[in-house]
Homo-oligomer: A and B are copies of this chain.
Amino acid sequence: MTQTPERLTKGERTRRRILHTALEIFAERGYAGVSLREVASRAGITHAGLLHYFTGKDDLLLTMMIERDRAEIEAIRSYVAAGTGPSSVEQIIVRWMIRDIARNQSRPDIAPLFVKLSTEATESGHPAYDYFRGRYIRLRETLARGFAYEFAAAEPPVEGRDPGLCAQQFIALADGLQVQWLLDPESTDMVASLLDYLGILGIDAEGWADIAVPEDRSA
């Protein structure tokens, strides 16, 4: 389905290396505070070389975000397709997010990026404003269906809670915990906090952080 790295052209490999590096640096220091020269340098080329692949800084940012989203969505789909039980996205999305945050807590990757960029992008006119707006809306919808499923599947079933509101709260909680965790990792257990929230709702999420999921194969 996808080519193995060895069979990629040199250009394609460079392009991916740039995207990977950009993700790393933007995750560390946001968008406005990072220069193309630095991204390029850490990717082993000059900034002029980088601009051979992307028309500019905005293009790099948005390409990176969209590419990353695509990979995430594909990972979820393939997990569902190969799943041992769950046969739709809403049946695994809440667990997926828990597992995702658990993984990020032990090996930070994309989460700090999203939190930093999403706040930075809240100013209308920011190159990623539309992207993030749409992303949050879609995520909230998907997660709302996930909560509706979990409420029905819970033992006993959860009554009287609005899945949309819970989706909103869950996302907010995850984002906000990320900030506290980045500032003070020792005193912030994101997974425990999220599982506790699910517990308050009446969802027994014991062990959700440990569900087996195929790892990302991207560099």
Taking the complex as formed, is A152 at the interface, i.e. its CB lies under 8 A from any CB of chain B? no
> In whole angstroms, how far apart are the Cα atoms of A137 and B188 in the complex?
11
Known: A176-B172, A180-B171, A184-B133. A115 touches B119 (CB 8 A): yes
Query: Would you give the 0/1 interface string for A178-219, flagging 1 where the beta carbon is closer than 8 Å to chain B?
Result: 011011100110001100110011000000000000000000
Residue from the list B28, B129, B176, B193 in contact with A123, Cβ < 8 A: B28
Grouping DSSP codes into helix (H, G, I), strand (E, B) and loop, the A interface class, with mixed when no group exceeds half, is helix
A16 and B32 CA atoms in complex are apart in Å by 27
Chain copies in the assembly? 2
Contact of A33 with B by CB under 8 A: yes
In the complex, are the beta carbons of B179 and A119 less than 8 A apart? yes
Quote the shortest CB–CB distance from A96 to chain B (angstroms).
18
Residues of B with C-beta under 8 A to A192: 165
Evaluate contact between A172 and B180: CB separation under 8 angstroms: yes
Bound complex: CA A51 to CA B184 (Å): 33
In the complex, what residues of B have CB within 8 A of residue A116's CB?
119-120, 122
**Residue in B168, B177, B183, B196 whose beta carbon sits within 8 Å of that of A177 in the complex:** B168
User: What are 15 residue pairs bridging A and B, where the CB atoms are less than 8 Å apart in the complex?
Assistant: A115-B122, A129-B183, A132-B183, A133-B183, A133-B184, A136-B180, A137-B184, A165-B192, A168-B177, A168-B193, A169-B197, A171-B176, A172-B172, A172-B177, A200-B201
